[in-house]
Amino acid sequence: MEPNIDFTKIVTPAEFLRAELEMGISMQNEAFVELTRRTAGQLDGLDIKTVLDYGAGTGVYAEAYRRMGYDVLVYEIWDDHKNYIRENAPLLKIISQPVTTDLMNFIEVAEHMTDDELNALFARIQPTFILFSSTSERTEWDAAWGHINVKAQDEWVRLFYDLGYEYVKPMSYPTGYTKLFKRR
């Protein structure tokens, strides 16, 4: 479903949330909730107790991890999204600064950050594992969506290697280009 957004200008946080909800990225969309359950479930067997959902958006991934028994922290910069999370997943703990955890859920966020911002983030926190997904496809909507750092998949692997992470393996969920990284 194509959201009703004017892609000729930068999308505001409220518009971004509205578009996500229109696309079904919500606690109310059972198909998306199931995708997040599968995403969290594929990490079974790894030594993970704590999870940071960085750039959590609507918080559906964080809620899936929480329901699986992980200790979950949510980091999100936009108030509209934080309010949605508070209303729809009140047991999630929203934090004001990212912290180191066993796993960082880093899904469709890195393309919104510069390499300098990524370097600064990983100089402050060192999660053991990173579940990572970021598109390599460029679209006419990249500027409006704030996609300022779209990279080829091998470039992401190289960037994380330079940040101290080894590429472990591809993961099935949530996208076809999801990767698991582990701190070296």
Q: Give the tens place of pLDDT for each residue, 32-72.
A: 999 999 999 999 999 999 999 999 999 999 999 999 999 99
Q: How far apart are CA 15 and CA 141, in angstroms?
A: 14
What's the whole-number mean pLDDT along residues 99-115? Answer: 95
Q: How far apart are CA 137 and CA 42, in angstroms?
A: 25
8 within domain boundaries: no
Query: What is the residue-averaged pLDDT of the chain?
Result: 93
3 within domain boundaries: no
The domain that holds 81 is classified in CATH as: 3.40.50.150
Residue scoring higher pLDDT (105 or 135) = 105
35 within domain boundaries: yes
How many structural domains compose the chain?
1
- The proportion of the chain whose per-residue pLDDT surpasses 90, expressed as a percent, equals 83
What's the whole-number mean pLDDT along residues 2-20? Answer: 76
Tens-place pLDDT, residues 63-82: 999 999 999 999 999 999 99
Residue numbers of the domain that contains 147? 13-183
- Return the bridge partners of 131, or none: 105, 180
